């Protein structure tokens, strides 16, 4: 464990702790909408929310509406949200915030979603997820052969109709979006809003690497799992991350006394 890095972020005046959800606070599940924080992760997040001069944000590829459901998040929460890889936000002061929409892109999204559903119909274990700014191809329950076939089919559809869309690959999912925002831009926006002196960002998947690579020397990136990562610190699983988050919260509370 990098004690010096933990001590450094714990000692700043204003800290932003930005956390991915799936695979970071919640175990990965076959049915995406059944995902929930583990007890240890929820307790750690609650400790951070109560820590002095500390803002907690969830940064996810999920749509804002779905993120609020799985995070069991309501309007009384003090936790900030960035959904759809930073194309949608929620803050206690401002409520829901989105960047300007593109009616043409939305119509194209609806068409591609319908065509993707038709192309993958009957493929066991494949699910097309409607997203606020695109679509996702879930293959967690599919065989390797079906996963490859489904991805190739939807890749061809999107490349033909929307070659400018952003493609992201995660664990058993490929996402296509007509918005260019990423978790890096989401963290940058949250940093500005909160006037944070440092950021802690934790994630487990390939889509989290944009945010991890964007962090500065005063920040701390944490990777959950054993994949190659740009993170400063690696932990094996959610309980280990929860321990680190509790340590940060405890140290910030102690420094404020």
- Domain containing 159 equals 103-177
Please give the Cα distance from 138 to 52 (Å, whole number). Answer: 39
204 plus 93 within the same structural domain: yes
Tell me the mean pLDDT in the region 33-40. 97
Tell me the mean pLDDT in the region 177-184. 89
CATH code, domain with 46: 3.40.50.1000
Contact 218, 12 (CB under 8 A): yes
Contact 198, 9 (CB under 8 A): yes
User: What is the residue-averaged pLDDT of the chain?
Assistant: 94
Pair of tokens at residue 47: 């400790």
20 plus 89 within the same structural domain: yes
Which long-range contacts does 67-71 make (Cβ < 8 Å, 24+ apart)? 67/21, 69/33, 70/21, 70/26, 70/32, 70/33, 70/35, 70/36, 71/21, 71/37
16 plus 91 within the same structural domain: yes
E strand or H helix at 83: strand 80-83
Q: How far apart are the first and last CA of the chain?
A: 26
Is this prediction's pTM over 0.85?
no
Per-residue model confidence as pLDDT tens digits over 44-73? 999 999 999 999 999 999 999 999 999 999
151 plus 38 within the same structural domain: no
CATH code, domain with 133: 3.30.70
Contact 206, 61 (CB under 8 A): no
19 plus 79 within the same structural domain: yes
């Amino acid at each position: 464990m990098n004690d010096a890095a933990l001590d450094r972020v714990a000692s700043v005046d204003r800290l932003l702790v930005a956390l991915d959800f799936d695979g970071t606070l919640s175990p990965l599940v076959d049915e995406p909408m059944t995902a929930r924080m583990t007890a240890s992760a929820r307790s750690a997040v609650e400790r951070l929310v109560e820590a002095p001069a500390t803002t907690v944000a969830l940064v996810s590829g999920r749509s804002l509406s779905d993120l609020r459901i799985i995070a069991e998040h309501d309007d009384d929460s003090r936790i900030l949200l960035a959904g759809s890889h930073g194309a949608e936000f929620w803050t206690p002061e401002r409520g829901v915030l989105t960047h300007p929409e593109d009616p043409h892109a939305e119509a194209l999204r609806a068409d591609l979603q319908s065509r993707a559903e038709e192309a993958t119909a009957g493929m066991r274990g494949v699910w097309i997820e409607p997203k606020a700014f695109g679509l996702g191809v879930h293959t967690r329950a599919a065989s390797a052969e079906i996963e490859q076939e489904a991805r190739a089919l939807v890749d061809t559809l999107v490349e033909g109709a929307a070659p400018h869309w952003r493609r992201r690959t995660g664990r058993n999912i490929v996402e296509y979006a007509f918005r260019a925002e990423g978790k890096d831009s989401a963290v940058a926006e949250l940093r500005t809003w909160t006037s944070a002196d440092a950021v802690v960002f934790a994630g487990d998947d390939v889509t989290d690497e944009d945010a991890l690579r964007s962090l500065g020397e005063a920040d701390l990136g944490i990777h959950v799992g054993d994949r190659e990562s740009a993170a400063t610190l690696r932990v094996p699983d959610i309980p280990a991350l929860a321990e680190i988050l509790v340590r940060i919260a405890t140290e910030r509370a102690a420094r404020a006394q």
